[in-house]
Structure 1
Amino acid sequence: MKYILRILFFVMIGLLVRGYYVKELIDYKEGEKIIGLGVLFGAFIYLPIFLYHRWKNKNISDYMLTDDNMKKMTDKKK
């Protein structure tokens, strides 16, 4: 999964760089479309896969402010 995320990240960065290159030197509107595709790819494909990879096998209650966690935090201060 780590290698897939790296490949997708470089694809996203490549789309953005290619879009800026095309925008400045060849065609403004075509470059804007490529940049937009890079942003959409990052937001709707890369980001959910990345978040899934980082949060799998984690207990969400460890990161929530519950009464038990508040007691643990106040006990550590004392």
Structure 2
Amino acid sequence: MKYLIWIFFIASMGSIIAGFSAPEENNETLIGLGVVGLFIIVFPLFTWYRWKDRDIKDYMLTKENLDKMRDNQKSNKKDKNK
């Protein structure tokens, strides 16, 4: 999956760069295809690939997570005072 994302990323960036150096009749189309490729294909694939094995509850501000953060802050202050 990682290599597929890289291939799409390089293809999109190549399309954008080619659009800046292409003749005037094709440049807007190539730049547009590159941007669409990045935002419709590359970013969602990358986000899914990086978050597929994680639990979203670990990153939400629930009462339990807030209590853990407060406990960690208290223990860090105690460690610094020693």
Partner of 1:37: 33
Deviations 1:13-60 (A, max 9, x none): 1011001111xxx21x42011101110111111111111101101100
Q: Give unpaired runs (5+ residues) of structure 2.
A: 75-82
| Residue matched to 2:8 | 8
Q: Compute the displacement of 1:72 (Å).
A: 0.3
**Paired residues, number:** 74
Question: Match for residue 56 of structure 2?
Answer: 60
Q: Which has the larger radius of gyration?
A: 2
SS at match of 1:45: helix
After TM superposition, list the pairs within 5 Å mapping 1:64-75 onto structure 2: 64-75=60-71
Root mean square deviation of aligned Cα:
0.9
Contact 2:8 2:37 in 1 (8 A): no
Shift of 1:63: 0.5
Q: What percentage of aligned pairs have identical amino acids?
A: 41
Task: Find runs of 4+ consecutive structure 1 residues off by over 4 angstroms.
Answer: none
